[in-house]
Amino acid sequence: MNDQEIVQLIQQKDFRGLEALIDLYSCSIRSMIRLILNHPAEKTYLKEVENEVFYKIWDKIEQFDETKSSLGTWSVKIARNLALDKKRQIIRNLKIIPTEFLPETPECDEYLEREQFLELVAILSAEDQLIFLKYFFYQDKPGDIAKDLDLDPAIIYNRLARGKKKLKDALKNGKDRDSHENVF
């Protein structure tokens, strides 16, 4: 069964489409979820996220655009986003405190609140979010993160530095916008 047939069956709410999707892409989806939720505290959420991923594919199949990506890529992207959402939620629920706060200026004190930090992280790319969450919340060493993501440790340091700058800018812009709004 090809992608087009699978999509058509799922659109008709025919479970044979789901069966074919699982046959072709379940391994990639599962691997992506496990890659992101790989800490001991997150293991119990694997099944929950997996269910949510397949349900989202089933429910939002109308949004799939074959001109933009293949069904496999689209499905894995959904898995990645949901797993990252869950990772943030777990961090929030476990009240894990980031080990290193990004901005070093006193004006940014309020930014140090966890909720805000987690919201800000969401502006980064999916891979950078994962690196940030692993590094700041789970205190993973850059070497371990590099091993998990199959990247060079230098790239991890680079991404962390680049991400910090991006978050700082975003925070600054947010501050400027707020003070501008207050004037008017």
Interface ranges with another protein (CB under 8 A): 15, 18-19, 22-23, 26-27, 30, 50-51, 54-55, 58-59
Taking the complex as a whole, the smallest distance from the CB of residue 86 to another protein amounts, in Å, to 15
For residue 77, give the nearest of 88, 67, 69, 66 by alpha carbon: 69
Taking the complex as a whole, the smallest distance from the CB of residue 76 to another protein amounts, in Å, to 15
Spatial separation of the C-alpha atoms in residues 49 and 155, rounded to whole Å: 28
Taking the complex as a whole, the smallest distance from the CB of residue 158 to another protein amounts, in Å, to 27
Taking the complex as a whole, the smallest distance from the CB of residue 26 to another protein amounts, in Å, to 6
Q: Measured from the CB atom, is 22 or 123 closer to another protein?
A: 22
Contact 83, 37 (CB under 8 A): yes
Q: Measured from the CB atom, is 24 or 151 closer to another protein?
A: 24
Contact 36, 84 (CB under 8 A): yes
Cα Rg, the chain, nearest whole Å: 19
Residue whose structure tokens are 């006193």 = 106
Q: Measured from the CB atom, is 20 or 121 closer to another protein?
A: 20
Number of alpha helices (DSSP H) and beta strands (DSSP E) in the chain: 8, 0
Q: Measured from the CB atom, is 10 or 131 closer to another protein?
A: 10
